Structure 1
C-alpha cells in the first residue's frame, strides 16, 4: 500500500482508532474491518482513545449484546474482540487487553451430539423387525443388545457364542470393549429372549 493511500485510509477511521499514527496503522491492518459495531459503540459513548478503553467498557458492550443476541453468539463476539486487542498489545499500541478479564454469559450444552432413542422408539424399532428368518432374529438380537446394554456397535459385532452364558440361572453377556477390556452384565429378560431365539434358530446354542 502506498504511503498516501495508507494515510487516506487511516484518516477515514473512527477517531478512536486514529488517535496516533501507530494506532491507526495497526487498526487499519486488522481491527475496524472486522469490528465496526464495537467501534461505533465506543464512539457513541465518547471513547476516542484506545488507552481509555477498559474492562468496564467491554463488559457494558457485552451486556448490550445480550439484549439482542443468544448466549453462544455473545460469547463468540467476546472471543473475537480479544483477538484484535491482543494484536494491538503485541504491536505495543496498548499495554493490556481490556477484554481479557471480561466474562461472557454462561452457556452449556446438556445434550450430546449422538441421538438416543426413547424407550417407545426402541420398542417400535424392535417390533418392526421381521423375525421369521434367521437374519431378522440376528438383527433383533444385535439391536436389542445395544438398546439394553448401551454397547458400542463394534462391541456388539465382536461378540462370540461363548460371550452369552448362564450364571446363577440368569443369562449374562460379555462385551469386548476398547483397549482389550471386558465388560460383563446380566441380560434384561427381553434381551435374553432375543439372544436365545437367534442362537436356537442358527443351531448354535446348547
Structure 2
C-alpha cells in the first residue's frame, strides 16, 4: 500500500490538472491509472516520500513497465512513454510547488519505439503498377508512366520528381537513351543536389513523354518537366492521385504511396547486391545509418526464404 505522503502528492497533482488545467476526463483517467502503477512501483522499492525519488528510480520505472510483471503484461514503447509523461508532470508539479528540491524525471528519456521497416513491393508488383499507369496513349498516360518509372528507377522523393525542370534531365533522347547514359539532377533536403543514373526503361518512358505528350500539355514558357492538364507544374497531390489510380487498376494495396516506390528502389538494389553506401548516395541520405534500415528489410526476406525452404527451419 502506498504511503500517505505519496498518495497526498498524487492527489494534489491530479486535482491541479482537473481544477486549474481543465484536462479532459479521459486524460485524467489515464494519468490516474499511470500514477497508481507508479505508486505501486515506488512502494515496492520502499520509497514513501516523493521528495526522495531519484532519477535512477524513475528510469527503473520505465524499464519495469517495458519488462512487465506477474500482474501486468509488458507495455509497448509508446504506452510506457505515455506513462512517463504522467510521471514527469507529477514531479515537475512537485518541484514548481516547492514540495521537492528537484525534478528527478527531467533527464529520463522515453523508450525508443522499434523502427518501422519500410514497406516495399515486389518487382512483379512494380511491373504491374507501371503497366497500369500507361493505359492508352494519351498525354496523361505517357506522363504517368514516365513519372512512376522515374520514381522507381531513381528512388526520387515525390517532391524531388515534381520539382524537376526539363533541363534537369539529360541524355534521354536519341542514342543517349541507353542505360547508363541518361542522368537526372535531383534536389533533396537542404537543396542538396545529386546526379542519379536513369535506366533504359525510365529513359524511354521519359523520352516518349517529352517528345509526344509534354508539347501537348505545355503552357507558355513553363520549365517544369511534369505538367498537369492546364500546362502548369504537376503537384504532389496530383502525383499521389495518379499513383493511387494506377495501383487500383493493378489490384495493388490502397496504401501504396510514392514513397513506397522509393523504398522498393532501395530494397531491390540491396537485394541485387548493391553496396549500402552506393544506395545512400543514390537516395541522398546524409548518413548511412538512415539507409541501413533497408538492410533489415533484406534480412527479413532472407529469413522468410530460409523458413520456407530449409528442411530444419520448421
Query: Hey, what does 1:193 align to over in structure 2?
Result: 204
Aligned pair partner of 2:128 in 124, 144, 168: 124
Query: Hey, what does 1:29 align to over in structure 2?
Result: 15
The question of 1:38 aligning with 2:38 is answered: yes
Gaps of 5+ in 2: 18-27, 69-73, 216-314
Any idea what SS the aligned residue of 1:186 has? strand
Query: Hey, what does 1:173 align to over in structure 2?
Result: 184
TM-score when normalising by structure 2: 0.47
The question of 1:151 aligning with 2:161 is answered: no
Shift of 1:70: 1.2
Alignment of 1:103-142 (within 5 A): 104-111=110-117, 117-128=121-132, 129-142=134-147
* Structure possessing the higher radius of gyration over alpha carbons: 1
Q: Tell me, in whole angstroms, the C-alpha distance in 1 between the residues paired with 2:159 and 2:10.
A: 58
Query: Hey, what does 2:236 align to over in structure 1?
Result: none
Query: Hey, what does 1:16 align to over in structure 2?
Result: 5
Query: Hey, what does 1:5 align to over in structure 2?
Result: none
Aligned-residue RMSD, C-alpha: 3.8
Task: Please identify which structure carries the higher helix content.
Answer: 2
Q: Tell me, in whole angstroms, the C-alpha distance in 2 between the residues paired with 1:63 and 1:154.
A: 40
Q: Which has the bigger relative contact order, CA under 8 A and spacing at least 6?
A: 2
Alignment check: 8 A CA contact 2:87 2:105 kept: yes
TM-score when normalising by structure 1: 0.66
Alignment check: 8 A CA contact 1:17 1:48 kept: yes
Q: Tell me, in whole angstroms, the C-alpha distance in 2 between the residues paired with 1:173 and 1:30.
A: 59
Query: Hey, what does 1:3 align to over in structure 2?
Result: none
Gaps of 5+ in 1: 1-12
Per-residue deviation, residues 37-60 of structure 1 (Å, max 9, x unmatched): 222443455543223433454344
Shift of 1:190: 0.7
